[in-house]
Amino acid sequence: MKRRLLLVSNSKLHGSGYLDHCARDVTRFFGRDVRRVLFVPYALHDRDAYTQTARDKFRTLGYEVDGIHEAPDPAHAVRTAEAIFIGGGNTFRLLKTLYDNQLVSEIRKRVMEDGVPYMGSSAGTNVATVSISTTNDMPIVRPPSFSAIGLVPFNINPHYLDPDPHSRHMGGLREGSMLLVEGDTATLLGTTRARLFTRGHPTVEYEPGSDLSFLLTG
């Protein structure tokens, strides 16, 4: 399997700027073969401003950014992209717009069959999974389905907060963590641990650097 994914919990970490906490991981992930990144700003209302934020940051890392909303044909933009980055915001708005533009299957094909690198942050990480059922976002719009792109066979809860002992809330990727997927190998990166929830089993904590490849066989 050709997939290469960098699934980041959050775009900003307290006390640092946009993507500062994972900038080194981003450059390692995209490497020198990628020159232009197709940015998908659908999760926020002001797509122009959001794209400019991504463009400014990626230029400091050595990459140019093209906003998918600037393309006359979004599907063609996906088919010709060197790399794809879907940013954070509202997951429901993001997934609905992906469906509206018929991009869910297009992105899946490019990543899973063509090996195009995919980076997601927050909502962009959420839509890379099986469904958006674990999002923390408000349902401000209704996508035709909660089924997402399906680049991995499990769900992720970005911005995971440790639960109040009196609460039943559950989750996954804490802020500051990210999951690197290369083919059938998955590695937890970043500075914080992740918590795994499996039906019928106790929760398990994983440290940065942990091999989570077993999740890809589910």
Tens of pLDDT, residue by residue over 68-118, are 999 999 999 999 999 999 999 999 999 999 999 999 999 999 999 999 999
Annotated catalytic residue within 25, 159, 211, 213: 159
Whether 137 is catalytic is yes
Distance CA 191, CA 208 (A): 6
pLDDT at 98: 98
Look at residues 117, 47, 43, 107 and name the one whose alpha carbon lies nearest to residue 75. 107
Token pair 């929830």 in the structure block, residue: 197
Whether 14 is catalytic is no
Q: Kindly tell me if the per-residue pLDDT of 171 is higher than 60.
A: no
Distance CA 198, CA 194 (A): 13
Annotated catalytic residue within 9, 11, 122, 177: 122
What is the third-level CATH fold of 4-217? Answer: Rossmann fold (3.40.50)
- What DSSP line would sit under 88-114, residue for residue? -S-HHHHHHHHHHTT-HHHHHHHHHTT
Mean pLDDT across the stretch 41-61? 97
Q: Kindly tell me if the per-residue pLDDT of 197 is higher than 60.
A: yes
Annotated catalytic residue within 11, 21, 121, 137: 137
Distance CA 194, CA 117 (A): 23
What Å distances lie between residue 158 and 28, 88, 91, 144, 191, CA to CA? 22, 10, 11, 22, 14
Whether 159 is catalytic is yes
Reported pTM? 0.91
Q: Kindly tell me if the per-residue pLDDT of 160 is higher than 80.
A: no
Distance CA 17, CA 201 (A): 38
Average pLDDT, the chain: 92
